[in-house]
Structure 1
Amino acid sequence: MKHLTLIAPLVLALAVPGIAGAADYAVQPAGSKLGFTSSFQGQSFDGTFNKWTAAISYDAAKLATSKFDVDVDLASVKTGDNDRDGALPGADFFNVAKFPKAHFVTTGFRQNGAQVVADGNLTLRGVTKPVSLNVTFKPQGAGATLEVSGSVKRLDFGVGGGDYADTSVIAADVKINAHLVLTAK
């Protein structure tokens, strides 16, 4: 019995690493990009957000404990077109005066064949909807790269409603894409 009391803490100590959570990563702004692709009058255009933060905990072998939590400063949007860059923060699109940030947080991860999918909730313009994003995680030395892609329907969030709701002028689907350079914390 005495040996059992000495062995129990040792067994517990050895088991703890197996139940530990996913590894935490810091996003390196240099080389990282959070963007989107849409189209206006049939012409495709790319946009990026210059200000955003992401808390990333990820381990492909421990998807149950992995988590993404991303905040996006919507006023930092850039598309390379002055008119569009001026319109997007306005009330007809992102309405940054009332809703300055978008927020995505995962609710879980799952395997879809060889592809990992991050399921979560996106809050944009005060509307929260489920969104699924494809994730490709590549460990590299003491860090990793993370590629994320998916699609959202802009009108589900009230982006470009009213006079801009015509999906033959502004595409209904907006593709989300991100390339994150990560270092282990």
Structure 2
Amino acid sequence: MKTLRPTLILALLAGLTTGAAHAADFTQVLTDKSSLAFTSKQMGVPVDGLFRKFSAQLAFDPAKPATASTVLEIDLASIDAGSKDANEEVVGKQWFNVKAFPTARFVSTAVKAVGGGRYEVSGKMTIKGQTHDVVAPFTFRQDGANGVFDGGFVLKRMDFGIGEGPWSDVSAVANEIQIKFHVVAAPAPAKK
């Protein structure tokens, strides 16, 4: 009987954990608690920045990651590249050309679990009219009622024509830009 109790307790705990995972479908991105940041290298020196405005549509159930989807739209004019001069430069024609292309867009095509609370989202990133495949590993955890997604990927700026003309010299500004995201999402409202 004593050996049965720990087994029974473990089975109950597993059932509770599984039930909690099935109960939540995270759909409401809390942009005020989320962030979209990047690190580029200029002359080998890391420079951090972020985008202040973005919106996202999300559907993620940790019990069914293959059914997940997301659409992210980034207001490119909301960039904070570290200084007023840099902000003015990067919205111009040679960089983001925000007059012609005001937003960047990511649309997921697949999400898969890779184990241990880790996942991978694949999708199409469009910047300046150029679309390329992106794969971003991320972690997911619950924080109270909310879900927290942390991840990132390397974006090659020249694939999208970000930094044309004299800025296409990747020895001055590196081609690889590390993108980091922290997304907090609330569960879908309860159905009545």
TM-score class, shorter: 0.7 to 0.9
- Equivalent residues of 1:120, 1:130 under 8 A apart: yes
Partner of 2:63: 61
Letter of the 1:167 counterpart: V
Tell me how far 1:129 sits from its aligned partner: 0.3
Change (3 A) 1:26 1:113: closer
Separation (CA, whole Å) in 2 of partners of 1:112 and 1:92: 38
Pair 1:183 & 2:186 matched = yes
Q: What does residue 167 of structure 2 align with? A: 164
1:60 Cα shift?
2.5
Q: 1:110-142, CA deviations, whole angstroms, 9 ceiling, x for partnerless residues?
A: 244553110000000000000000111111222
Task: Say which SS state the counterpart of residue 44 (structure 1) adopts.
Answer: strand
Structure 1 residue 102, shift from structure 2 partner = 0.2
- Deviation above 6 Å: which 4+ runs of structure 1? none
Find the aligned partners of 1:60 and 1:175 in 2 and give their Cα distance: 26
Q: Which runs of 5+ in 1 are unaligned?
A: 1-19
| Aligned 8 A contact 1:25 1:143 in 2 | no
CA deviation map 1:86-108 (0-9, x unaligned): 11110010000000000001000
Q: How well do the aligned residues superpose, as a CA RMSD in angstroms?
A: 1.6
Q: What is residue 13 of structure 1 aligned with on the other side?
A: none
The 2-side partners of 1:112 and 1:163 are apart by: 41
For 1:80 and 1:155, locate their aligned partners in 2 and report how far apart those are by CA, in whole Å.
21
Q: Which of 72, 89, 103 is the matching residue for 1:87? A: 89
Which amino acid is 2:147 matched to? A
**Rounded Cα–Cα distance in structure 2 between residues aligned with 1:154 and 1:113:** 30
Aligned residue in 1 for 2:125 = 122
**SS, match of residue 70 in structure 1:** strand
Q: Which letter maps to 2:87?
A: D
Give TM-score, length-normalised by structure 2.
0.81
In structure 2, the residue matched to 1:37 is 39
Query: Where is the strand percentage greater, Structure 1 or Structure 2?
Result: 1
Deviations 1:15-59 (A, max 9, x none): xxxxx9x82421223331111110112211111111110111112
**Between 133-142 and 168-177, the greater mean CA deviation after superposition:** 133-142
Normalising by structure 1, report the TM-score.
Answer: 0.84
How many residue pairs match? The answer is 165
Contact 1:67–1:108, Cα closer than 8 Å, also in 2: yes
- Sequence identity (%): 35
Distance 1:31 1:24, change over 3 A: closer
Q: Which runs of 5+ in 2 are unaligned?
A: 1-21
Pairs within 5 Å for 1:13-162: 23-112=25-114, 114=116, 115-162=118-165
Distance 1:64 1:122 in 2: 19
